[in-house]
Structure 1
Amino acid sequence: MTTIAILGGGYAGLRAARKLAHAKVGARIILINRNPYHYQSTQLHQLAAGTKEPADVCFSIREAAPAGVDVVVDEVERVDRNARRVLLKSHQPIDYDYLLNALGFESETFGIEGAEENSLPLVDVDTAMAARRHLEETLARYRASGDELDLHIVVCGAGFTSIEYLGELVHRLPRLAKEHGFPMEKVRIDCIEAADKILPMFEPGLAAWATDYLSKRGVHFHTSTPITAIRPGQVVSNGTAFPANTIIWTTGVKGSSVIPASGYDSKRNRVVVQDDLSVEGDHREFLIGDVSAVPDPSSGRLYPTTAQISVAQADCAAANVAALLAGRPTRKFSFKSVGTVCSLGPYAGVAQIDYLGHWKLKGLIVGAVKKVVNDRSVLELAGLRTVLGNN
């Protein structure tokens, strides 16, 4: 029987598995994921800040996978592309006829000295929870230590995850101050960014509103400030040091390390794919999500890696595998964003919505929009029961 192997149970992998199962392609579908659960990676910042619990952002892969999809919980070590075989850490290798590689992302340190050893990334449930424990323990320690650096927090990078994390952080800090008895006036939050803008994907007025919102709540932004090293308790930008006992690393991500281990030609562990999302030289192998690099035909630039585009890629790749199995030609991938929503804690945010017009939103309404986006994502991936269970 023809076997379709799907690597990774994130937004792209789980969506592709559901699409193929519903298409009744007459093949064995195997979904391989390192964890027995799917987690909403767009909500990791809430785990790290302590405003959500793992049960709020995770659900069982096996329960979410539709009938007809076999789930294997194991870590992919590499893909033997010549033999069409997936090599796993604990299970026997799995042979495949078609491959959808959606293995997701890892933290990117850009080779900066000490970044891996001296900072806390937010790339999965484990790292987000480690960052949360460190934050809470360090803030609580101030009563005994008297060390003001226990109340200093540096967030490295000002991308989407960074800004959303800062929003959750400034929302929760007053409650933590009451709980652990530390003075809010001694808390210092610095956000260090190499670029000269915050939230460049938003129009300037919305970006300025978000920056002002966080600045009024104690965040100090430092743009055009490239990080050159991270030392214990200190972020360094050339000759300037930003001391803190909590350092959060959210400067960027790269694709899975399985990509170079499997011999793909890649940059930052992302592979430039063909216009139907297949790999050059092998029309039965597709890369989607964070391990793929997809050129925008209108600009020539690569699309950003977002959950929204990952879902669109999954739909296209699944349809193309189904087409190949039926002897039909594949179709080109096309994408049009329906907008961007950036939360600033549970009760504020900024959004640009390109649906039935062009909407620019800010403030309280964006919190409700963000919840709708998250609930819709869970509904499409796991079904109504999971949505109700997470509310």
Structure 2
Amino acid sequence: MSENKPKIVVLGAGYAGMMTTKRLMQQFAPEEAEITLINKHNYHYQTTWLHEVAAGTIDVNRSRIMISDVINPKRVHLIYDTVKKINKADKTVQLENGKVDYDYLVVGLGFEKATFGIKGMEEHAFSIQSVDKSRLIRDHIEYQFARYRNEANPDSSMLTIIVGGAGFTGIEFLGELAERIPVLCKKYDIPRRDVRIIDIEAMETILPGFDEELLNYAKDSLEARGIEFKLGTMIKEVKADSVIVGEDNEEIKAGTIVWTGGVQANRIIGESGFELTKGKVNVDATLRAPGDEEVYMLGDCAWVMNNETGKPYPPTAQIAIQEADVCAHNIKTSIFGGTLQEFSFDDKGTVASLGGSDAMGTVFDGNKLYGLSASVMKNVIDDRYLFLLGGPMLVLRKGKFRPF
């Protein structure tokens, strides 16, 4: 590649990174820019499917897509390596096995677990954070069933699963557990009543952002399938086999503890000198990091302000995908001239899966959906992303076509 071409480097192959790379390929001819995508693994995974991997309701390979299957290696330089640090002063990215320089940088390094200083959370709680961590949760839960079945005097708490947090990921994970646990009970010949699934949430409600009718539907659906809720209850401490909760410091024994209560930007962002607000970078309306006009922060690394509410948009997959369009446009504009575009979220609605054929949410200007129709819409939303990323063939290979 010619040395005088602008070098555009994308860090991370999540939703934002993958879609930005796709859009950059469309915005630039091969001779106009050198595009590099750097990712730890040679695959992209559907973050919004990881709760299913963790519960064991889908195979791990269903959630993974080989990067080279959707990003042409002849158009984009693919580097599979671990990012160690961003050096803003000399505009380089330090990798585990080398260094890459850039003219424009797109940071989509994703999230990591935010523990909020809760004692023992980092050491003892699982998190739905990556393919491997999600697979570990799945295997650990089944291992607890095998132990319970084979030990002479098993502790009943082996089959207690505690989920910390009742946000989107937590509720969707509970829905998948509600489907998976009866299957494991049958497999290991264990009565369903021996298993407890407890959700612990500091707020008085589940699913902030949904209206009362929708969240009541979700809670009723999950409780009907054996999920217990302890709302308005803070986790004070996590131990190897229990959690301490509430003002009275109640101890609840458990064989599996999964934290879904919060995420923050990859720690590399802060270590590289970017200013963080509650674990993320407040970007401007054009998605650039303050004081670094050549650096774009997307997805879980960034807070993007909603000017109507004065609050940041929640960093969802839908927003990350839309950010890619603005980012690619603005990089091209920065190189060739024109007007930078400001990000404006086009809310197409939000649907939360509750396991199996149950779901609930809103679509198209607040229209509410429940049950089967919501579940079908959830699949449509997931398949739409696959179509945008890899066209109809990817939808056919990886899409969700559940028989109802």
TM-score (norm 2): 0.94
How far apart are 1:241 and its partner, in Å?
1.6
Structure 1: runs of 5+ lacking an equivalent? none
CA deviations 1:289-324 (Å, max 9, x no partner) are 111111111111111110011111111011100111
**1:265 partner amino acid:** E
* Partner residue in 2 for 1:83: 90
2:33 is the alignment partner of 1:27: yes
Counterpart Cα distance in 2 of 1:337 and 1:297: 14
2:120 is the alignment partner of 1:114: yes
How far apart are 1:383 and its partner, in Å?
2.6
* Partner residue in 1 for 2:251: 241
Partner of 2:77, secondary structure, is: strand
Contact kept, 8 Å, 1:104 with 1:291, in 2: the verdict is yes
2:139 is the alignment partner of 1:133: yes
Partner of 2:270, secondary structure, is: helix
CA deviations 1:253-289 (Å, max 9, x no partner) are 1101110111101124311111111122222211111
* Partner residue in 2 for 1:335: 345
How far apart are 1:141 and its partner, in Å?
1.2
Structure 2: runs of 5+ lacking an equivalent? 400-404
Counterpart Cα distance in 1 of 2:294 and 2:184: 52
* Partner residue in 2 for 1:200: 208
Counterpart Cα distance in 1 of 2:192 and 2:368: 33
CA RMSD of aligned residues (A): 1.2
Counterpart Cα distance in 1 of 2:366 and 2:306: 21
- Aligned residue among 154, 163, 169 for 2:162: 154
Contact kept, 8 Å, 1:255 with 1:268, in 2: the verdict is no
**2:122 partner amino acid:** E
* Partner residue in 1 for 2:50: 44
CA deviations 1:113-157 (Å, max 9, x no partner) are 111111111111011000000000001211123221111111111
- Of all paired residues, the percent bearing the same amino acid is 38
**2:317 partner amino acid:** A
Q: Which residues in structure 2 correspond to 1:175-324 (within 5 Å)?
A: 175-238=183-246, 239-324=249-334
- Aligned residue among 376, 379, 387 for 1:371: 379
**1:8 partner amino acid:** G
How far apart are 1:373 and its partner, in Å?
1.0
Counterpart Cα distance in 2 of 1:63 and 1:6: 17
How far apart are 1:200 and its partner, in Å?
2.1
How far apart are 1:385 and its partner, in Å?
2.0
How far apart are 1:346 and its partner, in Å?
2.3
* Partner residue in 2 for 1:97: 103
* Partner residue in 1 for 2:76: 69
Contact kept, 8 Å, 1:5 with 1:30, in 2: the verdict is yes
Q: Which residues in structure 2 correspond to 1:8-23 (within 5 Å)?
A: 8-23=12-27
* Partner residue in 1 for 2:402: none
Counterpart Cα distance in 2 of 1:257 and 1:200: 26
- Aligned residue among 2, 7, 12 for 1:3: 7
**2:244 partner amino acid:** V
Partner of 1:178, secondary structure, is: helix
Partner of 1:305, secondary structure, is: coil
Counterpart Cα distance in 1 of 2:207 and 2:297: 28
How far apart are 1:76 and its partner, in Å?
0.6
Counterpart Cα distance in 2 of 1:386 and 1:332: 31
**2:256 partner amino acid:** T
Counterpart Cα distance in 2 of 1:223 and 1:336: 32
Contact kept, 8 Å, 1:341 with 1:366, in 2: the verdict is yes
Counterpart Cα distance in 2 of 1:279 and 1:374: 29
How far apart are 1:175 and its partner, in Å?
1.2
Counterpart Cα distance in 1 of 2:387 and 2:165: 31
2:176 is the alignment partner of 1:172: no
Partner of 1:310, secondary structure, is: helix
Larger mean CA deviation between 254-263 and 139-148 belongs to: 139-148
Counterpart Cα distance in 2 of 1:57 and 1:30: 24
**CA distance 1:33–1:268, change in 2 (3 Å):** farther
TM-score (norm 1): 0.97
- Aligned residue among 357, 379, 398 for 1:390: 398
Partner of 1:228, secondary structure, is: strand
Contact kept, 8 Å, 1:140 with 1:182, in 2: the verdict is no
Counterpart Cα distance in 1 of 2:196 and 2:273: 45
Partner of 2:118, secondary structure, is: coil
CA deviations 1:217-267 (Å, max 9, x no partner) are 111101110111001211111411221111111111110111011110112
**1:71 partner amino acid:** L
Counterpart Cα distance in 1 of 2:273 and 2:199: 37
**1:143 partner amino acid:** R
Counterpart Cα distance in 1 of 2:290 and 2:214: 40
How far apart are 1:159 and its partner, in Å?
0.9
How far apart are 1:20 and its partner, in Å?
0.8
Counterpart Cα distance in 1 of 2:196 and 2:60: 27
Contact kept, 8 Å, 1:11 with 1:381, in 2: the verdict is no
- Aligned residue among 359, 377, 380 for 2:388: 380
How far apart are 1:358 and its partner, in Å?
3.0
How far apart are 1:390 and its partner, in Å?
1.7
